[in-house]
């Protein structure tokens, strides 16, 4: 009898999207508290897309639960658009969370995706190297990286067949995404797999097949399957609709 995927992975299935948002917010708060208590700060990379908006809104409703002065916010990826563009991940996070909590502006590290994509990626990588005081060859260790799952198995802006999948030394790259005919700026696997915790958020019936394929597949067919923190926790939070095939 083959083991159910969630038995092999750290998967929590929540009743519905609202319960998913609540569980993700609790995980964020718990991780922040533990990180600040442990080493004085919480460094998190936020996910884009639509699913995390509900989490960010919940976090904005409870600003007192978090020591925002010791929280440092980065982004897992960004579309190649200005920060006020409807597709901007920064804009979504700014509207849902960052503009509603007392986080110092200097604690928010936006990917300047209004620049040339390669320039924006290089600048963000330089910021990571400086903030985390990295030596050559080192990767930053985020306390938490939040990720979503696309229905093609992408995560962050690591899309199937894209060049960034084979990046093993850069921390941030400009990745051409054929299906969108657009550049994206994204963290690479060396960064994602160096995190202390990676939390995937998956919601909706439309993700049921890909979630099953990703969690039950042995190989690395999908980019999301290559997220394997070397020395960290990998947590999947899914609502019942997206987990119905597990």
Residues binding ligand 6PG (CB under 6 A): 47-51, 76-77, 89, 148-150, 154-157
As to burial, measured by CB atoms within 10 angstroms (0-12 exposed, 13-18 middle, 19+ buried), residue 146 is buried
Least separation in angstroms between residue 201's CB and ligand 6PG is 7
What residues have CB less than 8 Å from 229, skipping those under 6 apart? 192, 193, 194, 195, 196, 197, 198
Q: Smaller CB distance to ligand 6PG: residue 70 or 159?
A: 159
User: Where would I find the beta strands (DSSP E) of the chain?
Assistant: 11-14, 42-46, 71-75, 77-79, 144-148, 172-177, 182-187, 197-202, 233-239
Least separation in angstroms between residue 241's CB and ligand 6PG is 12
Least separation in angstroms between residue 165's CB and ligand 6PG is 13
Of 219, 209, 214, 206, nearest to 234 by C-alpha is 214
**53-61 and 89-96 are packed helices; what angle lies between their axes, rounded to 10 degrees?**
30
Question: Which tokens hold the place of 202?
Answer: 């998956």
Least separation in angstroms between residue 79's CB and ligand 6PG is 6
Q: Smaller CB distance to ligand 6PG: residue 102 or 161?
A: 161
Of 230, 239, 241, 227, nearest to 47 by C-alpha is 227
**17-39 and 53-61 are packed helices; what angle lies between their axes, rounded to 10 degrees?**
60
Q: Smaller CB distance to ligand 6PG: residue 34 or 114?
A: 114
Least separation in angstroms between residue 3's CB and ligand 6PG is 26
Least separation in angstroms between residue 155's CB and ligand 6PG is 5
Q: Smaller CB distance to ligand 6PG: residue 43 or 55?
A: 55
Interstrand relation of 144-148 and 42-46 (parallel, antiparallel or unpaired): parallel
């Amino acid at each position: 009898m083959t083991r159910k995927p969630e038995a092999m992975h750290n998967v929590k299935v929540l009743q519905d999207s609202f319960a998913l948002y609540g569980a993700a917010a609790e995980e964020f708060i718990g991780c922040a508290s533990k990180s600040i208590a442990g080493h004085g700060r919480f460094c998190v990379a936020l996910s884009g897309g639509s699913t995390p908006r509900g989490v960010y809104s919940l976090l904005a409703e409870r600003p007192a639960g978090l020591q925002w002065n010791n929280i440092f916010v980065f982004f897992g990826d960004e579309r190649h658009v200005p920060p006020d563009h409807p597709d901007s991940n920064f804009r979504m996070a700014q509207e849902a969370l960052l503009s509603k909590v007392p986080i110092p502006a200097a604690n928010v590290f936006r990917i300047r995706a209004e620049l040339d994509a390669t320039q924006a990626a290089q600048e963000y990588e330089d910021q990571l190297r400086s903030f985390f005081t990295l030596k050559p060859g080192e990767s930053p260790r985020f306390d938490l990286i939040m990720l979503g799952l696309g229905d093609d198995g992408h995560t962050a802006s690591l899309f199937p067949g894209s060049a960034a999948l084979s990046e093993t030394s850069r921390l941030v790259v400009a990745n051409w995404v054929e299906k969108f005919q657009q550049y994206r700026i994204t963290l690479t696997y060396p960064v994602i797999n160096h995190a202390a915790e990676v939390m995937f958020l998956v919601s909706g019936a439309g993700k049921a097949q890909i979630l099953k394929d990703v969690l039950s597949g042995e190989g690395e067919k999908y980019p999301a399957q290559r997220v394997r923190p070397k020395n960290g926790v990998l947590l999947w939070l899914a609502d019942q609709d997206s987990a119905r095939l597990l």
